[in-house]
């Protein structure tokens, strides 16, 4: 699935934000003409993501949603949002084509006022949307992170599946494996809480390889509830999930993904369609970086050599 960035503005300044270099740069909101071109370009995917910045800050967001509602080229539209400014669009979001991924930030990071507004908006959404079209996400970005605010929302509204994302740090000099080893204790504490609540986690990307966990830790992970065996294998580091997503920006340039924002950037007008561009990124970036070792032991690892593990996000390489 490709994502279209509607703008590079956001109402928050989250300390972990991997898009801070993008949202803090000079730019403009996507025009209606550019939005139409981007939709035509990604139509082969049959689904599309709307990202930002914060997409609900775009003054034309409701026009875009109304158009997508009746656009037969797309069966699914996922909107990535912090959930604070969705109240004026709730009437449109009732259409079954729309899905929301809401990043739930803590009171400490966004303030009490925004946190309460977020909770109220989630409650309002649940009056008009089935719960299976709303996913709550948590970004894990510091050791011993306090997850109480996130778990409060999950528990209050009875969500049984959430998305976990281990944030890619701005400074990657530590290396993927060392970072994973340092952060896994914090993740395991979150998983224990989720297990207590009967909540199933799923990964976005930046999956921790199986070898980072001890035998005892892997046994603990096995006891978690998962929506499917496929989700279980991804979560346990048994299956790679990294592939070109493609993020398209308001100026109709594109990158392989946000993690590669500072890397290869191209104009979509130089390619036939989204399939052509994904293939370009795969040959230009993935096929080369995947062979770079995350640690020396990877060289003799069967899973690594048979592409069953990438050793973490390719952006580290």
Residues 6+ apart with CB under 8 A from 44: 273, 274, 275
Examine the pLDDT at 57 and tell me if it is beyond 70. Answer: yes
Range in 71-75, 213-217, 261-265 with the lowest mean pLDDT? 261-265
**b/e for 168-180, b at 16 or more Cβ within 10 A?**
beeeeeeebbebb
Beta bridge mates, 48: 2, 77
Domains of the chain, each with CATH number or no CATH: 2-316 (3.20.20)
Instruction: Supply the DSSP symbol for 207.
Output: P
Q: Is 70 exceeded by the pLDDT of residue 23?
A: no
Element (H, E) at 152: helix 148-157
Query: How would you class 263 by CB atoms within 10 Å of its CB: exposed for 0-12, middle for 13-18, buried for 19 or more?
Result: middle
In this structure, of 28-32, 62-66, 120-124, 199-203, the range with the lowest mean pLDDT score is: 199-203
Cβ neighbors of 45 (< 8 A, separation 6 or more) are: 1, 2, 274
List the helix and strand counts (H, then E) for the chain. Answer: 13, 10
Provide the pairing of β-strand 76-81 with 253-255.
Answer: unpaired
Mean pLDDT of 66-79: 97
Q: Is pLDDT of 18 > 90?
A: no
46-80 b/e with 16+ CB inside 10 Å = b? ebbbbbbbbbbbbebbeebbeebbeeeebeebbbb
This prediction has a pTM of: 0.93
Lowest mean pLDDT across 67-71, 193-197, 287-291: 287-291
Give CA–CA dist 312/205, Å, rounded.
9
- pLDDT of amino acid 22: 58
- What pLDDT sits at residue 20? 57
Residue 24: its pLDDT value, please?
Answer: 52
CA–CA–CA angle 184, 188, 191 (5° rounding)? 140
pLDDT of residue 204: 78
Alpha carbon distance 289, 315 (integer Å): 9
Give 159-206 pLDDT, tens digit per residue. Answer: 999 999 999 888 888 888 999 999 999 999 999 999 999 999 988 788
């Amino acid at each position: 699935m490709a994502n279209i960035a509607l703008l590079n503005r956001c109402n928050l300044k989250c300390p972990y934000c991997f898009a801070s270099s993008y949202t803090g740069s000079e730019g403009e909101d996507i025009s209606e003409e550019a939005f139409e071109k981007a939709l035509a370009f990604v139509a082969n995917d049959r689904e599309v993501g709307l990202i930002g910045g914060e997409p609900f800050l775009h003054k034309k967001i409701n026009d875009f949603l109304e158009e997508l509602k009746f656009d037969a080229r797309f069966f699914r539209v996922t909107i990535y949002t912090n959930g604070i400014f969705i109240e004026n669009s709730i009437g449109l979001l009732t259409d079954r084509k729309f899905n929301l991924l809401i990043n739930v930030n803590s009171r400490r990071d966004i303030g009490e006022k925004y946190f309460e507004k977020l909770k109220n908006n989630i409650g309002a959404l649940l009056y008009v949307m089935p719960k299976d079209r709303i996913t709550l996400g948590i970004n894990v970005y510091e050791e011993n992170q306090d997850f109480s605010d996130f778990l409060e929302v999950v528990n209050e509204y009875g969500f049984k599946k959430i998305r976990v994302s281990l944030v890619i740090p701005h400074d990657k000099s530590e290396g993927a494996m060392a970072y994973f080893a340092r952060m896994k204790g914090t993740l395991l504490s979150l998983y224990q809480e989720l297990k207590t609540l009967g909540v199933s986690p799923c990964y976005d990307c930046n999956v921790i390889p199986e070898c980072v966990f001890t035998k005892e830790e892997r046994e603990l992970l096995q006891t978690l509830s998962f929506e499917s065996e496929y989700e279980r294998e991804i979560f346990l580091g048994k299956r790679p999930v990294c592939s070109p997503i493609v993020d398209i920006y308001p100026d109709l340039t594109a990158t392989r993904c946000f993690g590669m924002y500072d890397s290869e950037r191209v104009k979509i007008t130089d390619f036939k369609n989204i399939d052509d561009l994904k293939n370009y990124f795969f040959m230009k970036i993935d096929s080369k970086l995947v062979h770079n070792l995350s640690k020396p032991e990877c060289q003799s690892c069967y899973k690594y050599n048979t592409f069953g593990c990438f050793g973490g996000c390719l952006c580290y390489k």
